[in-house]
Structure 1
Amino acid sequence: MKRPSTKNLPIEARLLPFRCPCRSFKDVKVGEEAMLELPGMQSAVLLGVVVASFWLVYKLSEAAVDPLRSVPGPTLARLSRVWYLSQVRRGNFEKKNIELHEQYGPIVRISPDHYSLADPAAIKQVYRINSNFEKSAWYEAWKHPAPEQWTTFADRNVKRHADTRRRLQGLYAMSSVSQYEKFVDQTTEVLLSRMDDLAGNAQTINMTFWLQYYAFDVIGNITFSTPFGFLEKGEDIDNILVALENNLLYSTLVGIFPEWHPRLFQWLQKLPGSGAGARVKLLRFVADTISIKWAEKAQVGDSHDFLDRLMEINAKEPEKVTEYHIFAMVIGNVFAGSDTTAVSLSAVVYNLIRNPNVMQKLRQQIVDIEPTGKITWKQSQSMPYLLAVIKEALRVHPATGLPLWRVTPRGGAQILDRFFPAGSVVGINTWTMHYNQDVFGPDAQTFRPERWLTADAETLKEMNASYMPFGLGTRTCLGRHISTLEMCKLVPRLVVAYDFALAKPKKEWNTSNFWFVRPTDFHVYVTKRKSER
């Protein structure tokens, strides 16, 4: 089989030469004397004031004629996207977004042309299957600036995205999940072995790290039949997870000013500590891994792992699944498959620890079926309380924490009681919907799995319609079933095998929201329970 070439991958763009025009300022004076001595300083300051004044007048004039000027929101949000940038930069916008809607209502302006929505009625119109609302330019910062490069997550081309999903969604379908179960089982045993070594010690365990190591190794095993080795080594190999974090920070913030992305990326991609440099590192990591694994596979034969199946389709129908399709889909697995599942697993375990009655009830259901906790995927789908626990954990702590931005189509759109002109950017934050008391009741802030089991038919229908931890419509996460598989397999094993105690039981955990709402201090004491494994 021909080995795919990686020489044209979008990771070797030339870095423009940069020379700092700075000189030594060690002898420069400060204060009024310095102002007088530095030639042109006063003129520069005056020019800056004039430019700022003109900009402010222009923005105020623009706001005055805005057809949506009556939409409420923070005053500074009317003038520039800088206000939104400053809020996102704080790392807790999921909470801020909820507060904004509590203060201003179901439609809130958060920048001159961006509007956050928080009403179930808006979901069907903006995110329905046949919706013609395209993804906004914010997603541009999640891909290489070259126009011919795309991934399923960042692709704004509706037709191409639909075509890609049509070709490859079978690899992620519920019917395919059972074929990946053995890879999850293998990785689970490695994690439990490491947990056994750590359990009972006086020191706490950082569950965020270990669950991310697990999720990353699972996706490596599913994709290549080989885990990346994070669990085995117990560390961040080659700082790949740090690179993922830097990439999230870069894409989240630069996406607010997407016009900056091509220029910033061009300059920053050669700097290892930058978000753009992290993107290059991750792309090279994926490209090299594909090349190595492809070369190791002597034949396509029967499909086993994800890459095997892609290769099989490529061999039979190279026009249907090209080498670039293989690269793009594997990138999607690695980039999204680790972080989203790690956050979701953390949410499940954390909420179980904080709610011991739920933990005990779930544990009893598990041991009644299988004392060791080794539940099969098929068995898990017939365990209503397990599924309710997972569903409720992803409701109170969905992985993504920013609005899912979409652009109103040609001709505009009537959303709720407003007409939004074409080109307006609207979006719903999963957190605002999941904490909507009109849908989930006055106890929406409470972790209560029973709500999914005791609600009447109409209430359950409304809750399901507003439940969106994996997105909605044609943009629903392709890997959601794989993520659910991991949770359904690992959670029963952890619940049966260990007792957990939070290091800070009286304090809620801290999180950092740069697209993914990741816990930053999920430290626990772990004790091994008496069970057969």
Structure 2
Amino acid sequence: MISPDLNLPGGSHWLLASAAVVAYFLTSSFISWYRLRHVPGPFLASVSYLWLARVAKGGKQFWVYRDMGGKYGPLIRVGPNELSTDDPEVLRRIAGVRSPYARDPWYLAARFDPYHDNVFTILDADAHDRFKAKIAGAYGGRETPALEPGVDDQIRALLDLLRRKYLSTPEEPRLVEFAELTSFFTMDTITRSAFGKEFGYLRTDSDVYGFLAGVRETWPGLAVALDLPWIRKILFSRLYLRLFGPKVTDTSGLGKLMGVAEEVVAKRFSPDAKQEKDMLGAFINHGLSRQECATEALFMIIAGFENTSSVIRSTMLYLMTTPLVYRRFKTEIMQVVRDGKASSPITFEEAKKISYLQAVIYEGIRMRPPAPGLYPKSVPPEGDVIHGKFIPGGTAIGMNTGALVRSTALFGADADVFRPERFLEVDDAARAEMERNVELVFGYGRWMCAGKPVAFMELNKVFFEVSHGRRPELARAELGMR
């Protein structure tokens, strides 16, 4: 018998190992490229996740994807297994109630509790639908009569803080960090809505529990991890979260927030607890367990505060830097007040009747949507045909938010301009269609954001009330949006 000689010269083992790694990388890259080779996009994106990582790290996803829509068309390859589309009809078909598409594991990046999923991280469509049915009434307001009064209280707290601490005089100009202030408002609003008691961001004019600072510190890294499957599998695995994730015993940041949420929920499940009419009370009424309530409440806070606050501050920036729009907006608001058609604070129903306010809100969302991520769904095993191209099963296809909301075909030749009038210059059917297309940024069908009604309530009230008083001005208008 002849046996192979394994006594290779020094260093040859490392050379063979390196060659095997290179061969594996080249082979896997070729296979990844080949299966979606017919979909246009940057070449680097077709063979590596470096392109997605670079875009995410740069924090300019919205602008990059917007420009790619014009360059590559309605269906773009953005990763070895990732596509994006700005076609509203394709997006609606993918997210339809009876769609065979499922959530991609991308969504697991919102798993903060290693033991329990929230409504965002449930990948199975049927399980998601069952769970969402239990919480829909809480978010929609049907079972939470204290929801709007709670938002009103935070509106009053916001206005009180502005008047008490940041109202300028000719002798003493006072500056406010408006981005931070909007986060304080949305945090107090969502915690009041969830727990029946706000955490006190506006009352103290401070970052309670250091949560906001923690989010800002970790967000850039989280954005990269979202789009890189191999990193995502590690960082958001149950084992990693158990060992290195936030803990309820932490003294600040997300862990501290988790601890506070668990304390509040524990009191609601105590034998002598009384039934409350807030969102947590609605969760309990629909049979959510103690841990499910804590997990869902935590996700509600994390998902709800930054998305809404980003729309508030970006829309206010557009208003302050577009004098003609602001002048008309202010005129219409004052006319509503003079006509006695606005309560104090204005009710959601009253606000929805002010056509220019609605136009400003939709235009603000359109110009700078909240959280413009991919939110990919997984193509069913049998594959699908999109824009004449066969897409293999298992491919992740997400939304090109930047190209969608800046589409000249959907919103006119001046789609890159902040001009709310576009929603008022068309007939009712065309306006409704434009609004439907803007609302896609909140998802659609079975995957639509459950907190959308709460977000619109906040936006309607805050834009009306903040613009009702003195005109806000930028301290350094030349900086613009960063």
* Alignment TM-score, normalising by the size of structure 2: 0.87
The CA deviation string for residues 153-177 of structure 1, in whole angstroms up to 9 with x for no partner, is 1211211110112122111225457
Which amino acid letter does the alignment assign opposite residue 283 of structure 1?
M
Q: Does 1:333 align with 2:289?
A: no
- Give the CA deviation at 1:139: 1.1
Which amino acid letter does the alignment assign opposite residue 318 of structure 2?
N
1:304 aligns with: 277
Q: How does 1:16-27 map to 2 (within 5 A)?
A: none
- Give the CA deviation at 1:478: 0.8
Which amino acid letter does the alignment assign opposite residue 274 of structure 2?
V
Match for residue 285 of structure 1 among 243, 255, 260: 260
CA contact (8 A) 1:243 1:281 kept: no
1:137 aligns with: 105
CA contact (8 A) 2:382 2:393 kept: yes
Partner SS, residue 442 of structure 2: coil
CA contact (8 A) 1:353 1:359 kept: yes
CA contact (8 A) 1:254 1:260 kept: no
CA distance in 2, matches of 1:219, 1:346: 17
1:493 aligns with: 465
The CA deviation string for residues 117-154 of structure 1, in whole angstroms up to 9 with x for no partner, is 122332222122322211111111211474x5110112
- Give the CA deviation at 1:331: 1.8
1:384 aligns with: 355
The CA deviation string for residues 411-455 of structure 1, in whole angstroms up to 9 with x for no partner, is 111112211111011111322210111111111111111111222
Which amino acid letter does the alignment assign opposite residue 310 of structure 1?
F
CA distance in 2, matches of 1:429, 1:138: 15
For the structure 1 residues 57 and 310, does the alpha-carbon distance in structure 2 shift closer, same or farther, using more than 3 Å as the test? closer
For the structure 1 residues 92 and 367, does the alpha-carbon distance in structure 2 shift closer, same or farther, using more than 3 Å as the test? same
For the structure 1 residues 75 and 267, does the alpha-carbon distance in structure 2 shift closer, same or farther, using more than 3 Å as the test? farther
CA contact (8 A) 1:243 1:282 kept: no
The CA deviation string for residues 442-489 of structure 1, in whole angstroms up to 9 with x for no partner, is 111111111112223553354234222311111111111111111222
- Give the CA deviation at 1:219: 1.3
Q: Which moved more, 1:258-267 or 1:165-174?
A: 258-267
Structure 2 residue runs without a partner (length 5+)? 1-8
Q: Does 1:59 align with 2:33?
A: no
For the structure 1 residues 136 and 158, does the alpha-carbon distance in structure 2 shift closer, same or farther, using more than 3 Å as the test? same
Q: Does 1:240 align with 2:211?
A: yes
Match for residue 234 of structure 2 among 255, 260, 271: 260
CA distance in 1, matches of 2:330, 2:113: 49
- Give the CA deviation at 1:46: 4.8
- Give the CA deviation at 1:208: 0.7
CA distance in 2, matches of 1:477, 1:46: 52
Which amino acid letter does the alignment assign opposite residue 488 of structure 1?
N
Partner SS, residue 111 of structure 1: coil
For the structure 1 residues 231 and 188, does the alpha-carbon distance in structure 2 shift closer, same or farther, using more than 3 Å as the test? same
Which amino acid letter does the alignment assign opposite residue 228 of structure 1?
F
The CA deviation string for residues 233-270 of structure 1, in whole angstroms up to 9 with x for no partner, is 11112211123334544543323223223265455326
Which amino acid letter does the alignment assign opposite residue 288 of structure 1?
E
Partner SS, residue 426 of structure 1: strand
2:387 aligns with: 416
CA distance in 1, matches of 2:268, 2:466: 32
The alignment covers a number of residue pairs equal to: 458
2:65 aligns with: 97
CA contact (8 A) 1:367 1:373 kept: no
For the structure 1 residues 242 and 194, does the alpha-carbon distance in structure 2 shift closer, same or farther, using more than 3 Å as the test? same
Identity of aligned residues (%): 21
For the structure 1 residues 227 and 100, does the alpha-carbon distance in structure 2 shift closer, same or farther, using more than 3 Å as the test? same
CA contact (8 A) 1:243 1:278 kept: yes
- Give the CA deviation at 1:367: 2.1
- Let me know the Cα RMSD of the aligned residues: 2.8
CA distance in 1, matches of 2:428, 2:351: 23
Moved beyond 6 Å, runs of 4+: 40-45
Match for residue 324 of structure 1 among 291, 294, 298: 291
CA distance in 1, matches of 2:55, 2:222: 15
- Give the CA deviation at 1:409: 0.8
For the structure 1 residues 157 and 281, does the alpha-carbon distance in structure 2 shift closer, same or farther, using more than 3 Å as the test? farther
Q: Does 1:508 align with 2:480?
A: yes
Q: How does 1:63-462 map to 2 (within 5 A)?
A: 63=32, 66-144=34-112, 146=114, 149-173=116-140, 175=142, 179-196=146-163, 197-200=165-168, 201-246=172-217, 248-255=219-226, 256-257=228-229, 258-261=232-235, 262=237, 264-265=240-241, 268-269=244-245, 279-292=254-267, 298-301=272-275, 303-311=276-284, 313=285, 320-370=287-337, 374-457=345-428, 459-462=430-433
Which amino acid letter does the alignment assign opposite residue 237 of structure 1?
V
CA distance in 2, matches of 1:289, 1:462: 42
Which amino acid letter does the alignment assign opposite residue 76 of structure 2?
V
Structure 1 residue runs without a partner (length 5+)? 1-39, 315-319, 511-533
* Alignment TM-score, normalising by the size of structure 1: 0.79
CA distance in 1, matches of 2:214, 2:12: 44
CA contact (8 A) 2:86 2:399 kept: yes
- Give the CA deviation at 1:281: 4.1
1:479 aligns with: 451
CA distance in 2, matches of 1:248, 1:483: 21
Which amino acid letter does the alignment assign opposite residue 356 of structure 1?
P
For the structure 1 residues 291 and 321, does the alpha-carbon distance in structure 2 shift closer, same or farther, using more than 3 Å as the test? closer
CA distance in 2, matches of 1:278, 1:418: 46
